[in-house]
Structure formats: C-alpha cells, structure tokens
Amino acid sequence: MSPRTAFVFPGQGSQKVGMGGAWLAEYPAARAAFTEVSAALGFDLAQLCASGPEEELQLTANTQPAILAVSVAIGRVLAERGITADAMAGHSLGEYSAHVVAGTLTLTDAARLVRRRGQLMQEAVPVGVGAMAAILGLAPEAVAAAVAEAAAGEVCAVANYNSPEQTVIAGHRAAVERAMALCRERGARRALPLPVSAPFHCALMEPARRGLTPDLEAAGFADPAVPVMVNIDAAPVATGAAARDALIRQIDGPVRWIDSVRRLREDFGITRFLEVGPGSVLSGLVRRIVPDVDAFSLAEPDALAKLT
C-alpha cells in the first residue's frame, strides 16, 4: 500500500538558472507546461530558466512564474506516472502551484496572476524602505514577542513561521533591525538580513493585496480535487471560493508553515512529503517540523527512483 502522500510546492528563493532543465529534456508533459506559461506571458520562459541572465530571473515578476512553471511541469509528469497526493500545500507563491496541480486554477490563469503578483509586491514598497530577516535558534513565540516590541509605531511582523528553529520577519527596515537586535539579546543563534527586494507577507504588502484582488476575483476557481492546506489559516480548503479568499489574504499575512505541516501529518495521516519544484528548502523544513516522516525533493528526475 502506498504511503499517504502530500505534495509541497516551493516559493520564491528556490530559483536558479538551469532549474527544470532535466525535466524539460526528458518529458514532453514538462515542455508543454512551459509552452503554456510562455504563451500566457508573451515571452520564452524556458529560455530564461535555462540560460538566464540570472539578474533577470531574480526579478520578482519573472521569478514567480518561473518557479510556478517548473513546479507544475514536474506535477504533470507525476500525474502521467500515476503518482498522486492525498493533500497539498505550497509555501507562499507555491500555493498557486498547488492549486494548479489540484485543478483549482488553470496554468494560464495562474501564470498571469503570479506575474502580476510579483509586479505588485515589488511596487508596494520603495526600495530600501522595507527589509526581511531570518531569525535562527529562537522559538517562534519569542520572535513574535520581539517583533511586537520592536515595531514602535512602524510595521514589523512575523512573515514566515518556517520551522521551530527558523522564523522570518518583515517590515520597515529600522523596525526589522531593532527586532534582530532584540532577538539576539534573547538568545537567537543568528539574525540574518535577507537579500530580498521587498518585505513580503506583512502589512506593507497591503497595496499589493488591494491591487491583486480584482485579478483573483476575475479568475475562474474550481473546487480542488484534493484538499489544499493554505498558508494564512494553516487549514485545508475544499472549494474554489475559499481558495481564492485565502490567496487574497495571504499577500499581506504570514505563512504558517509549521502549523500547515503539522496538520498534514496529524489530520491527514501524511507520512511522505514530496517537494515538487526547484530546490530542497521545504523538504528540509518538513523534516525539522515532523521528524517521523519521509521528505525529499523532486527537483531532478532521478529522484523519481525513490518513489518505486
């Protein structure tokens, strides 16, 4: 009997030049996914992923559809091979990939939405005004208390509850710097500024949420074929309307990844997590959150051998 399986889809930060290349070389279904995204966006995304230049791939408006395309390409190969999931989740941007693979959104609609999402997130805050940082080795509750204290009238919030040992914060630059200092004082092993172009998943993204809401409301959302655990609530959605609402609220709300993974394990009995997309960030986080499961990345086709 197959283990109960969750597909988890990575977000921004997992991109690199060359990602998805081996899948495209070997599987027509993967190439078809890229062709669909390129047609939706009006440029050759496969060429950008394969050859860069890296600075262009790193632009948020390009990064988001590129990661979506790689993730869905791999998801379609899995579907062809009869490899299915009992539930799904995606980290931030990855929630869109989950909804495409679950049948909630078409790939064409998702590609246009995430490109627009990337543009709006980039434009929401002038460069240099916001910042993000990773806090390592301090309990998430302690980090949340530190950011509340450090805000001092500015925006400072937990953006990603990634694992019991890793919490990402976001907000106004000075407030984030104050929070980093407080976290170090209170025992954090490290507090590292992140090289990002905007402070994602905090109240400074409210203009992006307002800007993307009409696009999400205009897009067609079907009911997902399997439950999708959404970031903002760490709860499964079973209808298209609930999926749309969660994607709207996700833009300026936190990614509750710890609770999402725990619920997949406890409520759905998931014992195998497959990271569907570039990189291996999520499989590492999953192993830290629920050490009693199997978790591995399918970034390259040779990883399929682990599924037999």
Domain residue limits, the chain? 5-124+204-307, 130-196
pLDDT digits (tens, 9 = 90+) for 40-50: 999 999 999 99
- Give the pLDDT of residue 308: 63
CATH class of the domain at 130-196 = alpha beta
CB contact at 8 A, 34 and 115: no
Active site residue 99: no
Active site residue 92: yes
Q: In which band, very low, low, confident or very high, does the pLDDT at 92 lie, cut at 50, 70 and 90? A: very high
Among 91-95, 265-269, 273-277, 303-307, which is the least confidently predicted range? 303-307
Among residues of the chain, what percentage have pLDDT more than 70?
100
Average pLDDT on 94-120 reads 97
Active-site position among 92, 163, 283, 297: 92
pLDDT digits (tens, 9 = 90+) for 226-257: 999 999 999 999 999 999 999 999 999 999 99
Active-site position among 91, 99, 172, 201: 201
- Give the pLDDT of residue 266: 98
CATH of domain 5-124+204-307: 3.40.366.10
Q: Which two tokens stand for residue 271?
A: 């014992």
DSSP the chain: -PPPEEEEE--TT---TTTTHHHHHH-HHHHHHHHHHHHHHTS-HHHHHHH--HHHHTSHHHHHHHHHHHHHHHHHHHHHTT---SEEEESTTHHHHHHHHTTSS-HHHHHHHHHHHHHHHHHSS-TTTEEEEEEESS-HHHHHHHHHHHHTTS-EEEEEEEETTEEEEEEEHHHHHHHHHHHHHTT-SEEEE---SS--SSGGGHHHHHHHHHHHHHS--PPPSS-EEETTTTEEE-SHHHHHHHHHHHTTS-B-HHHHHHHHHHHH---EEEE-SSSSHHHHHHHHH-TTSEEEE-SSGGGGGGG-
pLDDT digits (tens, 9 = 90+) for 256-301: 999 999 999 999 999 999 999 999 999 999 999 999 999 999 999 9
